[in-house]
Amino acid sequence: MGARAASAALVALVVTVGPGPFVQAQQQTWVGMISDSQCRGDHGGEVDPTECTLKCIRNGDKFVLATDNGVHILPIANQTFAGLQEHAGQTVKVTGELKDGAITIARIDVR
């Protein structure tokens, strides 16, 4: 195979295969409340959202991010992320990667 044919074959391979697994995913930002999978975005209004969220987490529920006043619930993949307990029940800005329907949090900022 000549040099020109080899170059064309390599270009075709790169185009067919794509950039490969080494490309970083695009980070996104969401604003919502750190809540739990039981209460989702609604803690009933008569209880403290922080206390309620932490109680549900102690009872085995998972942290979630409730956006759009609780209309959308996004599971959180990295449940041990520093700041989840600290910001439970609070509205925050979360930066991370959405993969397979769950957020892997990279950063939590207070709103």
15 pLDDT exceeds 90?
no
Q: Which amino acid is at 35?
A: S
Q: Look at residue 21 and give its three-state secondary structure.
A: coil
Question: What confidence tens digit (pLDDT) does each residue in 38-68 have?
Answer: 999 999 888 999 999 999 999 999 999 999 9
What per-residue confidence (pLDDT) applies to 61? 98
- Length of the chain measured in residues: 111
25 pLDDT exceeds 60?
yes
DSSP string, 20-39: -TTSPPPPEEEEEEEEETTT
What per-residue confidence (pLDDT) applies to 5? 53
Q: Domains of the chain (ranges plus CATH)?
A: 24-110 (2.40.50)
Q: In sequence order, what are the beta bridge partners of 109?
A: 93
Separation of alpha carbons 97 and 104, rounded Å: 5
Residue indicated by tokens 């008569």: 46
What per-residue confidence (pLDDT) applies to 46? 82
